[in-house]
Amino acid sequence: MFKKYQKRIVLFLLFVFPLICFLLLSTGENNFTKLDVISSDVKDIALISPTSNTTFKDNISVVCFLGNEINKSESGILNLDEKVYKKFLDYKKFQVIAIYPQQRKPEADELIKKISKFTNMQNWKFIGMSESQIKELYTSFKVLKPLVNMYSQKAFIIDKFGKLRGRKNDGKEKDELLSGYDLNSISELNDKLKDDLKVLYYEYYAAFKERNKNKADRKEVGK
């Protein structure tokens, strides 16, 4: 009898206990923390470029700026496609928006062809704008580092309410701000951008559950 229970205890310690620990850690404090709002007044892309048929409203958007030398931004965009875009392709209301100067359309089209060879492009949005429109959009992000030749090395998260999201306390330095994610850093895309998108989706999921709970509670009270 003792041997029978001993085997069960060993199996529990080997398989079940580690799984419980993993579940507790994966639903820990970090995943329940809301993603910080960096800027609340990002201009909707639909207002700046109405012909693009693209909007931030009700979408979770990752935005990047390709610049006038698209070939130089190509590796970062391929990183974003592989490490982030493909992981969230089936998530609802997810889109990646690549902004480029409209005179660079031939180069942008070439980049689209390269990506489309190994990627479902349904949630990629390549949008050409005038340089004044690009500056107007980027300025509304209210980030410190300016565009260089219409290019940024960072990707940015815009939530469904048109707010720039990120981390106000990132890294070892107190109050170290993370407003954008380095396209040339695989570790930053993997460990920060992916995680922060998941946090944002969970935030909306938790809010959805809370609204439904409140509605159910009101119905019970009204009976």
Encode pLDDT of 153-201 as tens digits: 999 999 999 999 999 988 655 567 999 999 999 999 999 999 999 999 9
Residue 121 has pLDDT above 90, yes or no: yes
Tokens for 111?
């980049």
Residue 201 near residue 194 (C-beta atoms within 8 A): no
| Confidence at 22, pLDDT banded by 50, 70, 90 | very low
Calpha distance 126→41 (Å, rounded): 23
φ and ψ of 163, to 5 deg: -110, 140
| DSSP code for 51 | G
CATH of 35-204, one of 3.30.465.10, 3.40.190.10, 3.40.30.10, 3.50.50.60: 3.40.30.10
Domain boundaries, the chain: 35-204
pTM above 0.85, yes or no: no
